[in-house]
Structure 1
Amino acid sequence: MKETANETEALRAPAPFSRGERLLPYASLIDNPMPVYVNRVHESFDLRMHAHDFIEICLVAEGSGFHYLDTEQMAVTRGDLFFIPIGISHVFRPAAKGQPLVLYNCILTAEQLNSLLLAVQAEPGLVSFFNERGAGKAWFHLHDRGEEAQRLFRRLHREFSDRRPGSAAALCALTVELLVQLYRQQIEGPERAPSDPEMPAASMQELLAYIGANCSAELLAGDMAAKLGIGERQFQRSFKRATGVTFLDFVQSARIDIGCRLLLETTDKISAIAARSGYQDTKFFNRLFKKKTGVTPRQYRASLNLPQPPRLPAQTGQELD
Structure 2
Amino acid sequence: MKRSVETFRSDQFFHERFPLYVNRATENFDLPMHNHDFIEFSYVAEGSGFHHIGGEVREAVKGQLFFIPIGTPHVFRPASTNAVKHTLIVFNCVFSPVLLGKLAGFSSDPDIQSDIRRILDGKETHYALRDPDDAIGKLFLLLHREYALPRQGTTDYLISLLLQLFVAVHRLKSQTPSPATRKFDRFEHLLAYMESRLSEPLTLSHLAEISLWSERHLQRLFLRHASQPFHRYLQSLRVERSRELLRSTSLAIGSIAEAVGYKDIASFISVFKRNAGQTPSAYRKAAGAALEAMDVDTSP
TM superposition score category, shorter chain reference: 0.5 to 0.7
Report the counterpart of residue 170 of structure 1 in structure 2: 157
**C-alpha distance 128-194 of structure 1, shift in aligned 2 (>3 A):** closer
Tell me, yes or no, if structure 1 residue 107 matches structure 2 residue 94.
yes
SS at match of 2:80: coil
Q: Equivalent of 1:121, from 107, 116, 121?
A: 107
> Amino acid of the residue matched to residue 8 of structure 2?
L
Report the counterpart of residue 69 of structure 1 in structure 2: 53
**C-alpha distance 30-181 of structure 1, shift in aligned 2 (>3 A):** closer
Report the counterpart of residue 37 of structure 2 in structure 1: 53
Report the counterpart of residue 148 of structure 2 in structure 1: 161
Equivalent residue runs for 1:1-321 within 5 Å = 21-29=5-13, 31-97=15-81, 98=83, 99-118=86-105, 120-134=106-120, 135-189=122-176, 192-193=179-180, 227=206, 229=208, 232=211
Distance 1:128 1:227 in 2: 44
Distance 2:37 2:10 in 1: 6
- Give TM-score, length-normalised by structure 2: 0.57
**C-alpha distance 226-180 of structure 1, shift in aligned 2 (>3 A):** farther
Shift of 1:114: 1.4
> Amino acid of the residue matched to residue 131 of structure 1?
R
- Give TM-score, length-normalised by structure 1: 0.54
Distance 1:180 1:104 in 2: 18
Distance 1:154 1:23 in 2: 27
Shift of 1:37: 1.0
Report the counterpart of residue 188 of structure 2 in structure 1: none
SS at match of 2:31: coil
Per-residue Cα deviation, 1:166-203 (whole angstroms, up to 9, x for no partner): 1111101111000111111112245644688xxxxxxx
Shift of 1:123: 2.3
- Structure 2: gaps (5+ residues): 184-201, 214-300
Distance 2:152 2:159 in 1: 14
Distance 1:132 1:192 in 2: 30
Per-residue Cα deviation, 1:88-120 (whole angstroms, up to 9, x for no partner): 1100000111231111111111111110121x2
Contact 2:19 2:96 in 1 (8 A): no
Identity over aligned pairs, percent: 35
**C-alpha distance 152-43 of structure 1, shift in aligned 2 (>3 A):** same
Distance 2:172 2:144 in 1: 22
Shift of 1:228: 7.0
**C-alpha distance 159-33 of structure 1, shift in aligned 2 (>3 A):** farther
Q: Across the two proteins, how many residue pairs are aligned to each other? A: 191
CA RMSD of aligned residues (A): 2.9
**C-alpha distance 158-194 of structure 1, shift in aligned 2 (>3 A):** closer
Per-residue Cα deviation, 1:296-321 (whole angstroms, up to 9, x for no partner): xxxxxxxxxxxxxxxxxxxxxxxxxx
- Structure 1: gaps (5+ residues): 1-18, 197-222, 235-321
**C-alpha distance 195-35 of structure 1, shift in aligned 2 (>3 A):** closer
